[in-house]
Structure 1
């Protein structure tokens, strides 16, 4: 009996350790919600509702991108995708930046595609170009930006997205040629970025993958694994974002990024990281700030920097990539956003 109790106790400790290790993100999100509910019940309810709404609004894009990534893996189409990304890196980066600037994926929905591309062995430089350009603008965001800030501003934002992708891609190419970032993905995500075997040994895809049980199982396994991974991190991100919206008032943002000149653009770039809400909420804020005298270049820098480094996107990148790749992502985003703001200010000023 004592052995059985000891065995069950040991197993319980093992299960508890597994939960703490692998589900700590859920635990942190739950503890934050509980703490807020105890300290401020009204805000606790609002944060819970905000998180639920944000997850529901993001879910279609996430499920689409997760499904595409899972389908590519189960059917073997990832071999073709990886092969398509072979060739001259300079051309790959240009195409990836252009596609990223025009793609309809949101900053979070693109994460599973990024993981799949890196796991296939696609060079980090091309993936970084797509990664940086994608969150800034998409067709619907272009139309909304044009309606709120004008077509000139919307076009500048599109060019900034593509330019940021080009800058980030070529900068990463230089670093990777110096033997940096050999394995960009965290351990346990994809296969650590060493999936170049799909390029070296391509196999013909089976588009109707559901005809084989092993491929059906792979599709389900990868889809569920990626979904749980993303939704737990996004839950934490949206909980934190709800608190940021409440406790970082828009008036503070306005006071921080008002004015003109280099200092205004630099401040807007830096403030855009913690203060950015989301692409749709930020547009009327920037419109009001420009009407109050903020430089258009500062407004563009705020939108670009905030779009790439918004809290949900940044947390998803942190969960996916190794710390040095995350630092590179943030550094490129800030540098490119500052440059975009300064260039736009020189153009309109």
Structure 2
């Protein structure tokens, strides 16, 4: 048993460090550690090949983030004491929502990679409300996404993205925490946490590391297949939805509504959404529609919703997605009414 736990310990921390290296290296060296597959025109491939090409391109970009995220989620679940997690992420304290939303931007990962970390903090004892706030804030307004938004589009838009995402994530998490289905999920995870805590006092570092690997695998097997299924489905939107046609309708009040909603099928990895919005702005997209998209898309994409649905019930998922779109719409109208320009 000791040798088995030792092997799992090496695997746990080795995979975590390897995933972290794959995340950090491209940002320092300005080129990926391993080659990234790039396609020119996705619609030039046959209908059966399109999802394969899209998935391969996606995985060559995101596999490092996935390794890090799933291992990090497992480590959180296994190592963080339940009382500490409940104190930091308790749904009963409004401070927990602010803490969750303030800490999340440190993680520069997309909505899909946030799923295992979300699962990890739930298993460790977090309340459903702060956990939802944490889940939504990181992809919507992480540090690099804000820097890219400021440098590539405008700093006014970047500041608006931070403010609306921050308070939007807090509001959505708080509302979900008060719903019957949110309370049901918190009760269910409370039972899981209680069972885990009953044996937690006797675990040493090696046992916790082995448990972390098991937790990471559990999160992977639950969420990853549905997440990849969602990415494959989105490939057809990428292939057949002309950006020029989208930009034509992304002006005025209608544009704000569409800007918040089209992000649901138009999944984009973190930072890529900035370049997409910049291109749409060049084609005529209004600033209000841009901020609506930058909030709605990272919070409520189809792949991430499919993945999250394996961890919490569909009512929670659909409700936070609807609320995210509403927050995006409100942000778009407020931005146009108060600022109006880039």
Provide the rounded CA distance (Å) in 2 between the counterparts of 1:192 and 1:328. Answer: 19
**Aligned residue number for residue 184 of structure 2:** 183
Larger radius of gyration: 1
Q: 1:300 Cα shift?
A: 0.6
Change in Cα spacing, 1:140 to 1:101, as seen in structure 2 (3 Å) is: closer
* 1:68 is the counterpart of 2:72: yes
Note the alpha carbon deviations across 1:116-141, whole angstroms, 9 max, x for none: 22233322111121122122121222
Note the alpha carbon deviations across 1:253-298, whole angstroms, 9 max, x for none: 21232x22x3321222222322354444433342243344432111
* 1:272 is the counterpart of 2:263: yes
CA RMSD between the two structures: 3.0
Mapping of residues 204-219 of structure 1, within 5 Å: 209-210=205-206, 212=207, 215=208, 217-219=210-212
User: Secondary structure at 1:234's aligned position in 2?
Assistant: helix
Provide the rounded CA distance (Å) in 2 between the counterparts of 1:335 and 1:202. Answer: 43
* 1:137 is the counterpart of 2:141: yes
Q: Is the 8 A contact 2:146 2:158 kept in 1?
A: yes
Provide the rounded CA distance (Å) in 2 between the counterparts of 1:318 and 1:102. Answer: 24
How many residues are matched? 297
Change in Cα spacing, 1:195 to 1:172, as seen in structure 2 (3 Å) is: same
Q: Is the 8 A contact 2:110 2:298 kept in 1?
A: no
Q: 1:62 Cα shift?
A: 2.0
Mapping of residues 129-168 of structure 1, within 5 Å: 129-168=133-172
TM-score after normalising by structure 1: 0.74
**Aligned residue number for residue 85 of structure 1:** 89
TM-score after normalising by structure 2: 0.76
Provide the rounded CA distance (Å) in 1 between the counterparts of 2:323 and 2:166. Answer: 13
* 1:59 is the counterpart of 2:59: no
**Aligned residue number for residue 251 of structure 1:** 244
User: Secondary structure at 1:321's aligned position in 2?
Assistant: coil
* 1:225 is the counterpart of 2:187: no
Provide the rounded CA distance (Å) in 2 between the counterparts of 1:172 and 1:293. Answer: 36
Q: Is the 8 A contact 2:89 2:100 kept in 1?
A: no
Structure 2 segments unaligned to the other structure (5+ residues) = 1-43
Provide the rounded CA distance (Å) in 1 between the counterparts of 2:125 and 2:45. Answer: 48
Q: Is the 8 A contact 1:61 1:105 kept in 2?
A: yes
